């Protein structure tokens, strides 16, 4: 994202636009695996659909919030928008990494 803010090369921007969706899907797969293991760990298999639906609704609400926030940031300036997005992605990635690491450590200790 920061490359969008400072990049002047069209080729660089195109490469990032092709690769970025792949990286943005990674947290979804990690989260899905963590949720399914959580459901299995606490024997909530009969409520799996409900739990996953609630998580999906929460994700949709977060998308709306982020879209509104990005619209507000875009009014400030496009470079600021991409820099803020990059910083948020880095922070959220670090949080997901730390949570998944502690989740898997707890799981290995329980085994």
pLDDT per residue as tens digits for the range 33-65: 888 898 999 898 999 999 889 888 888 898 898
What mean pLDDT value characterizes the chain? 82
- pTM greater than the 0.75 cutoff: no
DSSP conformation letters of 46-87: GGHHHHHHHHHHHHHHHHHHHHHHHHHHHHH-HHHHHHHHHH
Q: What is the pLDDT of residues 75-93, one digit of tens each?
A: 787 777 788 888 999 999 9
The H helix count followed by the E strand count for the chain is: 4, 0
12 pLDDT higher than 90: no
CA separation for the pair 58, 56 (Å, rounded): 5
User: What tokens does 74 get?
Assistant: 């875009």
Looking at residue 9, its pLDDT comes to: 73
């Amino acid at each position: 994202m920061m490359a969008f803010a400072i990049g002047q090369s069209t080729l660089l921007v195109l490469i990032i636009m092709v690769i970025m969706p792949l990286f943005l899907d990674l947290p979804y797969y990690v989260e899905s695996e963590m949720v399914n293991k959580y459901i299995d760990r606490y024997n909530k298999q009969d409520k799996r659909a409900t739990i996953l639906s609630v998580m999906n609704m929460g994700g949709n609400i977060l998308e709306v919030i982020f879209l509104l926030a990005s619209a507000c940031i875009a009014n400030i300036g496009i470079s600021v928008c991409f820099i803020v997005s990059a910083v948020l992605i880095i922070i959220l990635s670090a949080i997901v990494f730390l949570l998944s690491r502690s989740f898997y450590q707890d799981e290995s200790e329980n085994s």
